[in-house]
Amino acid sequence: MTGTDRPTDGALVVKRVEAGSADTTEIERLADAAGYDVLATLTQTRTEDPAYHVGEGKAAEIADQLRARDAAVVIFDNQLGPYQTYNLGTEFPEGVRLLDRFRLILEIFGQRAQTRKAQLQVELAELRYELPRAEAKASLARREEHPGFMGLGEYDESREQDIKNRIARIRDELEKIERTDEHRREQRRESGFDLVALAGYTNAGKSTLLRRLAEDLDVDENEDIHPDLDETAASEDRLFTTLGTTTRRADFDRRDVLVTDTVGFISDLPHWLVESFKSTLGSVYQADLVLLVVDVGESVESIREKLVTAHDTLYERNEAPILTVLNKIDTVEAAELDRKREALSALAPNPVAVSAKTGENVDALRERIDESLPELERERLVLPMTDDAMSVVSWIHDHANVETVDYGEQVVVEFEGRPAVIEQSRAKASDLVPAESAS
């Protein structure tokens, strides 16, 4: 399912945990993001049953609830194996769709994929999800000369290889797209832009923060469009509002800054799923600064777990400094904020606490961003009083922070900018005057 198609089926949510009580908040939000109407939730605390995942008795209870509530879908907040999927299917009413956590996530991604890059990444994730299941069917068929796999359907001996071939082709195409994206990022740096990326879990307020930092609505990655690109639109309280990236020019006095928002992290993502979307994460990995946004209204334990996972994901390939932003301070008391800041200090030293919703402390965040970005270089150029020199001065105004311009017998311009801009300005100046005249 892709584009704007959205299911409207009633669903049951099921979650099994090894110990303690099961929290179904996120899976219910994921179901809502996919467009399902959650009719009820069922939980169980026990070790995994190899045949049904939950116990056989719980499977029967789920079947009864499906009939009683006339639900069309059952969603497990766990990963189900092919054998478990088949066994559960035999217990449930005919026609009921069975989704595990990752199949649901892929369905959401499919709904959001509007661009070629996004669609390729979704297809890659789906194929990587299906591959071990195809391999399991192949293994059993070869071992037992069985025409099918426990009723899961006829085994096509070429299917496994077809999946591998398609995965290879998609990876090649995504690498070409990523090279184009990287070229665009380098062009922006050469034009004097600092690149800041927003990272964090879904619903942490990244899109709202982007609106607060944005200066205009003119810059984007030609990716999926955020619903809040319209200035009058409110940021949606929904997971996976967009699958692609959105980039805007930020409001800074002495820098040209582009801020990019990407799809948020979610809990318990397997490595293969994260890897499928590494092209989208390229905007994070290649940034000059990463703003790691967290919802400070959550528990310390939840925030700590998310920070650890986010750091693991970011530090794998990212070399830029990471600045933690404690968002939604409008939802907590000052004493609670201080307590959480102290409890998280090892993972988030010297964070910035803001409310993207109200704008509180966003100016302080701008100051920290300015301090954390690569240091600007200073330059002083002496140019002849010519039309060509006026064009160079205009170019410097567009690409750097000009401090003074003195128009006399010669033009003296003092400014600061990124190293690439300084280098280009010197080259332009050298085309106008002998090298010894520029200082």
**Is residue 47 annotated as involved in ligand binding?**
no
Please report the pLDDT score of residue 4 as a whole number. Answer: 43
Please report the pLDDT score of residue 328 as a whole number. Answer: 96
Fold of 377-437: Alpha-Beta Plaits (3.30.70)
**Is residue 139 annotated as involved in ligand binding?**
no
**Is residue 194 annotated as involved in ligand binding?**
no
**Is residue 14 annotated as involved in ligand binding?**
no
Same fold, 10-110 and 192-372: yes
Using alpha carbons, select from 10, 7, 16, 17 the residue that is nearest to residue 76: 16
Give Cα 64 distance to the centre of its chain: 38
**Is residue 192 annotated as involved in ligand binding?**
no
Element (H, E) at 379: strand 377-384
**Is residue 355 annotated as involved in ligand binding?**
yes
Please report the pLDDT score of residue 439 as a whole number. Answer: 46
**Is residue 263 annotated as involved in ligand binding?**
yes
Token duo for residue 71:
């639900």
Please report the pLDDT score of residue 131 as a whole number. Answer: 82
Instruction: Please compute, for residue 79, the number of CA atoms within 13 A of its CA located in the half-sphere on the CB side.
Output: 12
**Is residue 394 annotated as involved in ligand binding?**
no
Please report the pLDDT score of residue 318 as a whole number. Answer: 63
Write the CA distances from 63 to 60, 68, 81, 152, 325, integer angstroms: 5, 9, 19, 20, 44
Please report the pLDDT score of residue 218 as a whole number. Answer: 38
CB 330 within 8 A of CB 358: yes
Query: What are φ and ψ of residue 397, in 5° steps?
Result: -60, -35
Rounded distance between C-alpha atoms, residue 53 and residue 100, angstroms: 11
* Residue spans of beta strands (DSSP E) within 128-192: none
Please report the pLDDT score of residue 263 as a whole number. Answer: 65
Please report the pLDDT score of residue 2 as a whole number. Answer: 41
b/e 248-275 (16+ beta carbons within 10 angstroms → b): bbbebeebbbbbbbbbbbbbebeeebbe
**Is residue 327 annotated as involved in ligand binding?**
yes
**Is residue 313 annotated as involved in ligand binding?**
no
Please give the single-letter amino acid code of residue 274.
V
Using alpha carbons, select from 203, 242, 202, 237 the residue that is nearest to residue 225: 242
For the domain spanning 10-110, the CATH number is 3.40.50.11060
Rounded distance between C-alpha atoms, residue 390 and residue 397, angstroms: 11
SS (H, E, C) 66-111: HHHHCCCEEEECCCCCHHHHHHHHHHCCCCCEEEEHHHHHHHHHHH
Rounded distance between C-alpha atoms, residue 385 and residue 372, angstroms: 37
Fold of 192-372: Rossmann fold (3.40.50)
**Is residue 310 annotated as involved in ligand binding?**
no
CB 171 within 8 A of CB 163: no
**Is residue 200 annotated as involved in ligand binding?**
yes
Residue 50 DSSP label: T
Task: With a cut of 70, list the residues of the chain below it in pLDDT.
Answer: 1-8, 114, 136-157, 185, 188-192, 215-244, 263, 266-283, 285, 315-318, 433-439
CB 102 within 8 A of CB 79: yes
Rounded distance between C-alpha atoms, residue 143 and residue 197, angstroms: 50
**Is residue 242 annotated as involved in ligand binding?**
yes
Rounded distance between C-alpha atoms, residue 121 and residue 333, angstroms: 41
Please report the pLDDT score of residue 437 as a whole number. Answer: 46
**Is residue 268 annotated as involved in ligand binding?**
no
* Residue-range domain boundaries for the chain: 10-110, 113-176, 192-372, 377-437
Q: At what angle do helices 300-315 and 278-285 cross, to 10 degrees?
A: 90
Please report the pLDDT score of residue 158 as a whole number. Answer: 75
Rounded distance between C-alpha atoms, residue 90 and residue 86, angstroms: 6
Please report the pLDDT score of residue 123 as a whole number. Answer: 86
